[in-house]
Chain A
Amino acid sequence: MSLKSAAMKLMQKAIEHAPDSMMPGGKPDPLITRKHGIVGAPVTRIDGPLKVKGAAPFAAEFEAEGLLYTAVAFSTIAKGRITSLDTSAAEKAPGVRLVMTHKNAPKLKPTPMFNTQPKAAGPSDLPIMQDDSIHWNGEPIAVVLADTQEQADYAKSLISATYKEEPAVIDFDAAMKNAHEPKTILGEPPTINEGDAEAALSAAPNLVDKTYTTPRHNHNPIELHGVTLFWEDGELYVHDSSQTVAQSAWTLAEVFGLDEKKVHIWSPYVGGGFGSKTLWQHHVLAAAASKMADRPVRLVLSREGVYRTVGGRTTTQQRVAIGADADGRFQSLIHTGVAAMTEHNDCPEQFTFPARHLYATKSFLIGQKVADMDMLANTFMRAPGESIGTFALESAIDELAEQIGIDPIELRARNEPESDPTTGKQFSSRNLIKAYRDGAERFGWNSRSAKPAARRDGEWLVGMGCATGTYPYYRMPGGKARLTVSKDGFVTAEFAAHEMGMGTATTQTQVVAERMGVAQQCVQINYGSSDLAGVFLAGGSSQSASIGASIHAAHTALVEQLIKLAGSKSPLHGLDADDVESRDGGLHTKKDPSHGESYAAILRRAGKDELSVEESAPPPMELQHWSMHSFSAIFAEVGVNTITCETRVRRLLGSFDCGRILNPKTATSQFRGGMIMGIGLALMEETIWDSRKGRIMNPSLAEYHVPVHMDVPEIDVMWTDIPDPHTPLGARGIGEIGITGVGAAIANAIYNACGKRIRELPITLDKLM
């Protein structure tokens, strides 16, 4: 063990055992107890009218004088070298200004890889167009700049390449033979165990031991990945579609050897991200080509281009084995498996995370490996790990419940842990069984027959299933916000966060209004720019908490300064920040709400137009101190056609335990969106991978199936709304959890409908025949 890691371990132990009060969130946020305010109200999205009017421009809609358009050519082999690359016809084609290849591209440093440094955003550490080597089927080999998009596309079609192929690892079955443990799984140990789980499994009177497989998935946000960018006085300005503005700016600065302040990323509106709107090669290629051509450049990946150059969810093979005593109490829980990855990235698809926190068990073996393949770096996709991990784990729970002959909800209740089963930490808040009971009642779970194939409706067999969803609570380091209050009583909050359609701008307006005690109409939020304060990730369901903690910190600092500024003539004189609260447009003592002063009065008396502070959130030590997770109980009713074996989801209900819900309207949308992705995961989504060439064969929305409207029934959502006492405003993030559990709930419902257990996603009709 190195000195550094020893010190880190010691620090971790100290945090675990420190008193609650020393932790961020150790003292509950006072706003948790404030009811009937703006937080919790179903506020309609404030950017909604702009979207409807077309007044919310995406990255590829910004104009620039002398703008050049881009087309990208991709490799057609998985590994080897380019032996010839003929661009002569393309260069002579009408309107072409530049053809950039490895032969003429400027020297570029590789992108520092995500998770290796605080602001690193690189999808991998591969060189970008620096030599003739090919690392995956679909790697960019040439970039064409032309006066119009059509000219660029045409010129690109004139480029021809030949290759010398080298042996490539492109078959997952073959790659699994060399599977190995990565150093960590997102900072967690790859394998954890207690007792002899295999022996306990063999000895258990009830046991299941099954293998589950999940396919590759590709990202399909409706807004294609694109940038409009330009260089000016040695600084790079990028209109991007991003969920990582600060990280992307820092990483691009590294690639081009610039001070990070010289890269500016703007991304106020994003047409969906789901984990894909991070930094990819197209950013670097567009910036490099723009520099070479000395012209502004727009690069929008084609839909095929997104499949070839933006990673997706990787494929996995998972084993879940559970041994239980006669009453169903777990004696052994095993969840192991392998995910495909590359040697050049670190995204191991944490599918064993749910098993680490969901069930009490006497012994466990939980561990995962990666199999290196020659493919595009895989990446995060809505609830990476948990989405497909819960499919395997929660299918196995259902299988075990049937074997023992008890209701699957009851089986879960019997194995509900008091504290985290693998770390021993206290849960910050956990109400999973309540979510189940509430959901079961609303869904009519008690009308389900435990016996499969018992309910028929014409040609259809109808069944019900349920499953647990879960996702960790994350708050990222680096959160920081600027709060400004003006003499008119208006409040501006600024932070380098993102609105990808989930409602961040709206909920954070509510949060700032509540925190500052002003009307929502008096709050302006500025976000979506790397020039603003802080480092935020619109991912891992972390952003709301990270912003919330930053605003809380900035608010405390602002209150201290306001009290100082108020001076000796103020009723606030001599008070601490703790003695006062923000309400009715000013500061008032907690003891006597009539005793106080408005922000406007304080500023005017001091002769100031405004007061502005920037403050950082405390490091997220609470994550090491408590076990912090969100939970859901998902219920599905499906019909399986007795003739064609087509499966259609008839009803879906999600009962969520995610702390306090900040805005029921935007939250409902988030949950439903995640659950719709869960329908796709269960029944149809699959990247077709030709393992002879390592090539994606369905890079199109016609052949890559996501649910259409007719596949989506009415989706009911409900929540416990029990605040988490240790998070800002009592809320936990909700972006990812919607998809988790849905795959298993549908698979379990299919089993209940027709008696067939499918352990291989997606559950297409051929598997049911």
Chain B
Amino acid sequence: MNPFTYARAEQAEDALKLAEAQGARFLGGGTNLVDLMRETIERPQSLVDVTGLSAAIEETSAGGLRIGAAARNSAVAEHRLVRTLYPVLSRALLAGASGQIRNMATLGGNIMQRTRCAYFYDDDGSRCNKRTPGQGCDAAEGFNRYHAILGASPSCVATHASDMCVALAVLDAVIHLRSPRGERTVPFVDFHRLPGETPQVETVLEPGELILTVELPANPIAKRSTYRKVRDRSSYAFALVSVAAALELDGGKVKDVRLALGGVAHKPWRALRAEEALRGREATPENFRAAAGAELIDAKPLRYNAFKIELAARTITAVLQELAEEAQ
């Protein structure tokens, strides 16, 4: 770990000022950033601890929910309104990490979680365009069982590791940001980027910009939502594939649907094509499977991850079928 300075902010304004003065990184629970600092992959000169900022979970006037970026994962997961109005979020959070890590990790920090690609973590022994832009990617032809099947580029095939973010993508969440230049909002699905030629730029967050809150809009469909994570062991493993979904039926037909995938791309993958293919269609396993196929049509397997395409299709079908059975 490199030497760094540390300051704690109690107000967003202070946080922004401190960060601007020192070129600092914001620190949430530290469950990812501190790990990366220990490995010297992240070398910030200065940290501003923002866990003292808003951690409130409150209803909005429009009937949605606003969650402060400093809210701990465990607090969000167990909140009554989250569990009743947005069960997919609670389930996604509980599918992630371990109890101890969820007690530390924050909403804002989890959104900023970086990839778990083994070559990204291998500071001195492997090439990585994310760590050292232009260096090359050892994962593309290496051990890539966990890697992307959608939206990857020759420069990066890593996946986004967060479970929570898959749920936020399905819930049409909106991120509220603040910088010295003012405040702005970004739809959650637009917050993370695909790698393209600049995999080191993972989000649209500007330098010095701070995540204040995440807003979940009111939407009755979210009540019937769930999360399923497929992994190599029962707990404490990253998703091979995960599915977040919400479904509303009208008779036997799909009135509305939300679908997002984890473990398949550089960002939480909102499956808009599948959603489009399902709206107004009969809620049958065949149609669910066909919709999955529509989403995965452009999937490109790497040497060790071809199984993910079939696994994603099966899991999407099973999750939608489960929700459909509940609805009927």
Please give the residue numbers on chain A whose beta carbons come within 8 Å of chain B beta carbons, in ascending order. Answer: 76, 137, 150, 153-154, 157, 459, 643-646, 648, 683-684, 688, 690, 692-693, 695, 697-698, 700, 702-703, 705, 707-711, 764-766, 769
Chain A to chain B contacts (Cβ below 8 Å), 13 pairs: A154-B1, A154-B2, A157-B40, A644-B315, A684-B232, A690-B126, A692-B142, A697-B122, A698-B118, A702-B236, A705-B232, A766-B145, A766-B311
If over half of A's interface residues share one DSSP class (helix, strand or loop), that class is named, otherwise mixed; here it is loop
Known: A644-B230, A764-B232. A688 touches B118 (CB 8 A): yes
- Chain B residue nearest to A697 (CB atoms) is B118
- Chain B residue nearest to A151 (CB atoms) is B3
Contacting B233 at CB < 8 Å: which of A644, A683, A700?
A683
Interchain CB contact under 8 A, B311 and A693: no
B328 within 8 A of A: no
In the bound assembly, the distance between CA atoms of A646 and B124 in angstroms comes to 34
- Chain B residue nearest to A700 (CB atoms) is B121
Interchain CB contact under 8 A, A688 and B232: no
B318 within 8 A of A: yes
Shortest distance from the beta carbon of A690 to any chain B beta carbon, whole Å: 5
Shortest distance from the beta carbon of A768 to any chain B beta carbon, whole Å: 10
Identify the 5 closest CB pairs spanning chains A and B, nearest first: A710-B234, A766-B307, A76-B125, A697-B118, A644-B230
In the bound assembly, the distance between CA atoms of A702 and B113 in angstroms comes to 15
Contacting A695 at CB < 8 Å: which of B116, B125, B231, B310?
B125
- Chain A residue nearest to B43 (CB atoms) is A157
B240 within 8 A of A: yes
In the bound assembly, the distance between CA atoms of A764 and B118 in angstroms comes to 19
CB-CB under 8 A from B38, the residues of chain A are 153
Interchain CB contact under 8 A, A643 and B315: yes
B235 within 8 A of A: yes
Interchain CB contact under 8 A, B311 and A765: yes
Known: A648-B234, A683-B233, A688-B143. A769 touches B311 (CB 8 A): yes
Shortest distance from the beta carbon of B25 to any chain A beta carbon, whole Å: 18
Given contacts A693-B126, A695-B126, A703-B116, 15 further A-B contacts (CB under 8 A): A646-B230, A646-B231, A684-B232, A697-B118, A697-B126, A705-B233, A705-B237, A708-B233, A708-B234, A710-B234, A711-B234, A711-B235, A764-B232, A766-B240, A769-B310
Interchain CB contact under 8 A, B318 and A643: yes
Known: A157-B40, A698-B118. A710 touches B235 (CB 8 A): yes
CB-CB under 8 A from B307, the residues of chain A are 765-766, 769
CB-CB under 8 A from A683, the residues of chain B are 233
Interchain CB contact under 8 A, A765 and B125: no
CB-CB under 8 A from B318, the residues of chain A are 459, 643-644
User: How many residue pairs, one in A and one in B, have C-beta atoms under 8 Å apart?
Assistant: 82
CB-CB under 8 A from A703, the residues of chain B are 116, 118
Interchain CB contact under 8 A, B236 and A765: no
B281 within 8 A of A: no
- Chain A residue nearest to B142 (CB atoms) is A690
Which of A150, A690, A769 gathers the greatest number of chain B CB atoms within 10 Å? A690
Interchain CB contact under 8 A, B314 and A644: yes
In the bound assembly, the distance between CA atoms of A432 and B310 in angstroms comes to 43
In the bound assembly, the distance between CA atoms of A693 and B315 in angstroms comes to 35
In the bound assembly, the distance between CA atoms of A76 and B119 in angstroms comes to 13
Interchain CB contact under 8 A, B143 and A690: yes
CB-CB under 8 A from B125, the residues of chain A are 76, 137, 693, 695
Shortest distance from the beta carbon of A478 to any chain B beta carbon, whole Å: 41
CB-CB under 8 A from A684, the residues of chain B are 232-233
CB-CB under 8 A from B240, the residues of chain A are 765-766
If over half of B's interface residues share one DSSP class (helix, strand or loop), that class is named, otherwise mixed; here it is loop
**Contact flags B177-209 to A (C-beta < 8 A → 1, else 0):** 000000000000000000000000000000000
Interchain CB contact under 8 A, A702 and B116: yes
Contacting A708 at CB < 8 Å: which of B236, B314, B315?
B236
Shortest distance from the beta carbon of B107 to any chain A beta carbon, whole Å: 21
CB-CB under 8 A from A702, the residues of chain B are 116, 236
Interchain CB contact under 8 A, B142 and A697: yes
Which of B138, B230, B233, B235 gathers the greatest number of chain A CB atoms within 10 Å? B233
CB-CB under 8 A from B118, the residues of chain A are 688, 697-698, 703
In the bound assembly, the distance between CA atoms of A695 and B123 in angstroms comes to 13
In the bound assembly, the distance between CA atoms of A766 and B315 in angstroms comes to 14
CB-CB under 8 A from A153, the residues of chain B are 1, 38
Known: A157-B40, A765-B240. A643 touches B232 (CB 8 A): no
Shortest distance from the beta carbon of A100 to any chain B beta carbon, whole Å: 19
Contacting B124 at CB < 8 Å: which of A76, A700, A707, A769?
A76
In the bound assembly, the distance between CA atoms of A764 and B232 in angstroms comes to 7
In the bound assembly, the distance between CA atoms of A157 and B1 in angstroms comes to 8
Interchain CB contact under 8 A, B310 and A154: no
Shortest distance from the beta carbon of A74 to any chain B beta carbon, whole Å: 8
- Chain B residue nearest to A698 (CB atoms) is B118
Within 8 A of A (CB), among B118-145: 118-119, 121-122, 124-126, 138, 141-143, 145
In the bound assembly, the distance between CA atoms of A645 and B307 in angstroms comes to 11
CB-CB under 8 A from A646, the residues of chain B are 230-231
In the bound assembly, the distance between CA atoms of A711 and B237 in angstroms comes to 12
Contacting A150 at CB < 8 Å: which of B1, B126, B138, B232?
B1
In the bound assembly, the distance between CA atoms of A59 and B316 in angstroms comes to 50
Which of B3, B38, B118, B315 gathers the greatest number of chain A CB atoms within 10 Å? B118
Within 8 A of A (CB), among B1-55: 1-3, 38, 40
In the bound assembly, the distance between CA atoms of A137 and B315 in angstroms comes to 39
Shortest distance from the beta carbon of A426 to any chain B beta carbon, whole Å: 44
Known: A154-B2, A690-B142. A708 touches B235 (CB 8 A): yes
In the bound assembly, the distance between CA atoms of A644 and B311 in angstroms comes to 6
CB-CB under 8 A from A711, the residues of chain B are 233-235
- Chain B residue nearest to A94 (CB atoms) is B3
CB-CB under 8 A from B126, the residues of chain A are 690, 693, 695, 697
CB-CB under 8 A from B119, the residues of chain A are 697
In the bound assembly, the distance between CA atoms of A711 and B236 in angstroms comes to 11
Within 8 A of A (CB), among B302-328: 307, 310-311, 314-315, 317-318
Shortest distance from the beta carbon of B254 to any chain A beta carbon, whole Å: 20
- Chain B residue nearest to A703 (CB atoms) is B118
- Chain B residue nearest to A77 (CB atoms) is B125
In the bound assembly, the distance between CA atoms of A216 and B3 in angstroms comes to 37
Which of A153, A700, A703 gathers the greatest number of chain B CB atoms within 10 Å? A703
In the bound assembly, the distance between CA atoms of A693 and B122 in angstroms comes to 13
CB-CB under 8 A from B143, the residues of chain A are 688, 690, 697
Shortest distance from the beta carbon of A705 to any chain B beta carbon, whole Å: 5
CB-CB under 8 A from A690, the residues of chain B are 126, 138, 142-143
In the bound assembly, the distance between CA atoms of A683 and B233 in angstroms comes to 8
CB-CB under 8 A from B310, the residues of chain A are 769
- Chain B residue nearest to A157 (CB atoms) is B40
CB-CB under 8 A from A698, the residues of chain B are 118
Shortest distance from the beta carbon of B139 to any chain A beta carbon, whole Å: 9
- Chain B residue nearest to A766 (CB atoms) is B307
- Chain A residue nearest to B40 (CB atoms) is A157
Shortest distance from the beta carbon of A532 to any chain B beta carbon, whole Å: 39
Which of B125, B142, B315 gathers the greatest number of chain A CB atoms within 10 Å? B125
In the bound assembly, the distance between CA atoms of A157 and B123 in angstroms comes to 10
Interchain CB contact under 8 A, B2 and A157: yes
In the bound assembly, the distance between CA atoms of A765 and B229 in angstroms comes to 13
Which of A688, A695, A766 gathers the greatest number of chain B CB atoms within 10 Å? A766
CB-CB under 8 A from A688, the residues of chain B are 118, 143
CB-CB under 8 A from B311, the residues of chain A are 644-645, 765-766, 769
In the bound assembly, the distance between CA atoms of A519 and B40 in angstroms comes to 56
In the bound assembly, the distance between CA atoms of A237 and B116 in angstroms comes to 41
Known: A643-B314, A644-B314. A765 touches B230 (CB 8 A): yes
- Chain B residue nearest to A768 (CB atoms) is B307
Contacting A765 at CB < 8 Å: which of B1, B2, B232, B317?
B232
Shortest distance from the beta carbon of A38 to any chain B beta carbon, whole Å: 40
Shortest distance from the beta carbon of A305 to any chain B beta carbon, whole Å: 13
CB-CB under 8 A from A707, the residues of chain B are 233
CB-CB under 8 A from A459, the residues of chain B are 318
CB-CB under 8 A from B40, the residues of chain A are 157
In the bound assembly, the distance between CA atoms of A646 and B242 in angstroms comes to 13
